[in-house]
Amino acid sequence: MHVPDGFIDAPTSAVTGVVAAGAIAVSLRGARREFGGEKTAPLAGLVAAFIFAVQMLNFPVAAGTSGHLLGGALAAILVGPYTGVLCVSVVLLMQGILFADGGLTALGVNITDMAIVTTVVAYAVFRGLLAVLPGGRRSVTVSSFVAALVSVPAAACVFTLIYAIGGTTDVALGKVATAMIGVHVLIGIGEAVITALTVGAVIAVRPDLVHGARGLRQTLKLRVNGELVDAPAAPVPAAARTSRRTLWITGLVTSLVLAGFVSFYASADPDGLEKVAHDHGIDKKAEDHTSADSPLADYGVKDISDARLSGGLAGVIGVGATAVAGSAVFWAVRRRRTRDVSPAGTDV
């Protein structure tokens, strides 16, 4: 759903840029609270790299149409909604600058639609479902599935609204809305499956690192003198502490394999927005990307003729660059939070 340059007029793009900048500023402050005492910064950088990798894996959803992960729901549930907005924003920035994917003048539109809307909608649905479902890991997984499913057509609706306000071509918005929502409901199913599987996999090994699963662990009860009392919390064993590093390495290797190898087998069909734009004339005034001559444009390495090698190297470079950029941002946020907290653990 990456919006290219030329789809949305300059005033609307500017407004969405202001909205995106404001949301990122709020998210930087919110992420400091979400990090808490946990070492979330490395995991947040990994989540950004993983989303970048999985977004390269377009899957077929209808005749001549493909879809890919947006990632807002996944990021919000794993590391929190504020940090999730930052994760997806880092991915979009790297894609726009390095790979000419998503217009630079449309960066505000893309962040607003793909980072803010998906994250906010998904997390609201996720929390709403957890409030009514029985506590437990299964409820987290089910809520993740539904939240991700809803977030994608929600983003399609917001894009249609933005286009209705600032679209550069005169098209029948009713038909565009129907086409966008219809195809993105199908894409949402793929998003839901990927999100639920990923959240379930992380919960299986480290539920304490999943933001959306915090507070769901049941307190052990002991019977003392005929009364049930809370048992003291057991210390985290050394094996559990070191497994955070194992989780990070496993996630990074998985991301590299997905982007560097599996992406070669992704669907070559246009994604939902590209298909709808072509069919309904939205792309009539699309402009060439500012970074069209980038050495990594279109997810290939310039001057390497072998398609498999070129795409694989581009994917590996993208994962590495996103992991480094994301981790740098989140470490900076983490350090800022550490400075702002007194030794007693209270804000100064």
Reference 253, options 319, 328, 325, 327; nearest CA is 319
Q: Which CATH number fits domain 10-340: 1.10.1760.20, 3.40.50.150, 3.40.50.1110, 3.40.50.450?
A: 1.10.1760.20
With b for 16 or more beta-carbon neighbours within 10 A and e for fewer, the 276-308 pattern comes to bbeebebbeebeebebeeeebbebbbeeeeeee
227: phi then psi, degrees, rounded to nearest 5: -120, 145
Distance CA 267, CA 162 (A): 28
What global pTM score does this model have?
Answer: 0.89
The helix (H) or strand (E) run that includes residue 151 is helix 137-166
Quote the DSSP letter at residue 209. Answer: G
pLDDT tens sequence across 269-315:
999 999 999 999 999 988 989 888 899 999 999 999 999 999 999 99
Domain segments of the chain: what residues? 10-340
> What span, in angstroms and rounded, lies between the C-alpha atoms of 264 and 311?
7
CA 33/CA 37 separation, integer angstroms: 9
Question: Which of 61-70, 217-226, 255-264, 304-313 shows the lowest mean pLDDT across its residues?
Answer: 217-226
What confidence tens digit (pLDDT) does each residue in 63-114 have? 899 999 999 999 999 999 999 999 999 999 999 999 999 999 999 999 999 9
Structure-block tokens of residue 156: 């399609």
